[in-house]
Chains A and B, each alone.
Chain A
Amino acid sequence: MSDNILVTTLDEALRWGTGKSLWPFTFGLACCALEMMSAMGSDYDWARFGSDVFRDSPRHSDLMIVSGTVTKKMAPRVRRLYDQMAFPKFVISMGACASAGGPYVRGYSVVDGVDQVVPVDVYIYGCPPRPESLIKALKLLQDRIADGKVKH
């Protein structure tokens, strides 16, 4: 995309900007949060894709990575944090727990899938997913935004 930025329309340029600069929200829930931090770390370094600015306030961030189990008690808070983010905003559901409840799905206090609470753009499988998977998901999301397939 970066080669023909000057000749594309404004709309595409804006989409390009949105996609290539996804500032993630520092939002760790459970085990997957550690793998999310590993993806930040020196070895995986997803700052390469423009996501190096981890923001602490939901208002500043574009990308919420639901990293871990969403419990019944936490679910309304996740929703509230999602509501606090400014459009355009995207959600990656990281790992089995966030996507479908994972090993805890039979329990009494776990939401079986964060998509009941917030709209999800990309799901990642794995328990926990390796950092490579998270980077793959980020790339996938970037490409989809650039193609205009994600509307928020």
Chain B
Amino acid sequence: MIPVESEASSKDGVKIIYVAKENILQFLKEKKDEGFDYLLMITGIDYKDHLEVVYHLLSSKSGERLVVKAKTDGEIDSVTSLWKGANWHERETWDLLGIKFNGHPNLKRILLAEGWVGHPLRKDYPMEKKQYVNLKEDGYDSVSFEKKEGY
């Protein structure tokens, strides 16, 4: 058994479990074996002093739901080995929140262009600093801070 740091409940009555970030892969594996076979989403929350990764689980047998949270400072183990669907969710969390998933097969930006500076869902992301995407000759994106040809 993996130790649970603390438990809480959300407003809609779903149990929230806090786990240490080192144990997250083991803990989720246990939960998956217990019947939580669905990974609905992975997301992150930026609490300014630390980041939190949130996993929403669902058991398709009983319909039970579970929220697993882990505090991190920007790095956590990837769960792509447990759920194939975790791939895109982790990429998105990396893209928008800058949480690095160790062991992810293809941790690249997914929604924003390759080469984007910063992670926009962080609370300290400078919104007034505009970035522009341009197309390079080979068809890949390049990001710059000033308008270039084409704009």
Contact = CB atoms under 8 A, between A and B. Distances in A.
Asked if A and B form a direct contact in the complex, defined as CB atoms under 8 angstroms apart, the reply is yes
Interface of A: 72-73, 75-77, 79-80, 106-109, 116-117
B150 interface: yes
A46 B127 CA distance: 41
Interface string B108-151: 00011100000010000101001111110000010000010011
Given A72-B133, A108-B125, A109-B120, A79 B112 contact: no
Contacts of B134: 76
Interface of B: 111-113, 120, 125, 127, 130-135, 141, 147, 150-151
Nearest to A75: B133
Given A108-B125, A108-B127, A108-B131, A73 B141 contact: yes
Contacts of A72: 113, 131-133
Contacts of B125: 108
Nearest to B148: A76
Contact of B133 (A76, A80, A106): A76
B97 to A, nearest CB: 14
Given A73-B112, A75-B133, 4 more contacts: A72-B132, A72-B133, A73-B141, A109-B112
A106 B127 contact: yes
A49 to B, nearest CB: 31
A117 B133 CA distance: 12
Nearest to B130: A108
Nearest to A71: B133
Contacts of A77: 135
Given A108-B120, A109-B112, A109-B120, A76 B127 contact: no
Which of A73, A106, A116, A117 has the most B CB atoms < 10 Å from its CB? A73
Nearest to A109: B112
A116 B151 contact: yes
